[in-house]
Amino acid sequence: MPKQDRSVSFPLRLSHEVDRLFDELIHRPWGIDRELQGWNPSIDLYETSEAFILEADLPGVKGEDVKVEVKGRELILQGRRSMEQSYSDETFHYQERCWGDFVRRLVLPETVDKDKIKAEFCDGVLHVVLPKMKQESKGKGSKE
């Protein structure tokens, strides 16, 4: 019986593992869980000179069903998307849209001024501003 060539599967598995580790390394500073289960909103997180900005897509979520809070060094986004319509008499052929409770937790950098965080929810997008702490200027009070 001829020996099977398995040399193709190893590089593919290695490539997948390298991609996973690289993805984990990039997202680790924020503590973002990449293995999401159920429905979790998609988020964008970017930085300006003054703040970190988080935007979360929450289509179909009502403002009163969204909560943003800080506990310790974690920013917690949680809420609920309700199913608007009953489908008990329908036959689904394909379903991707999810509903239910969600929770996203992000570890905040120490440079975030937790007392000045502001959140706004408009048109299904949650916009959270995470201001950076003001750094005291060097040489303050010194004569130059």
The domain that contains 124 carries what CATH number? 2.60.40.790
pLDDT tens figures, 41-94: 899 999 999 999 999 999 989 999 999 999 999 999 999 988 766 666 777 776
What residues have CB less than 8 Å from 44, skipping those under 6 apart? 53, 54, 55
* Least confidently predicted of 69-73, 96-100, 122-126: 96-100
Judge whether 113 lies within some domain: yes
pTM beyond 0.85: no
Give the chain's domain count: 1
What residues have CB less than 8 Å from 82, skipping those under 6 apart? 60, 62, 65, 99
* Least confidently predicted of 81-85, 92-96, 115-119, 136-140: 136-140
- At position 29, the amino acid (one-letter code) is P
Query: Helix, strand or coil for residue 47?
Result: strand
Range of the domain at 116: 35-84+97-131
Judge whether 25 lies within some domain: no
The predicted structure's pLDDT at residue 67: 94
Judge whether 19 lies within some domain: no
Judge whether 10 lies within some domain: no
What residues have CB less than 8 Å from 70, skipping those under 6 apart? 76, 108, 114, 117
DSSP assigned state of 12: H
Judge whether 138 lies within some domain: no
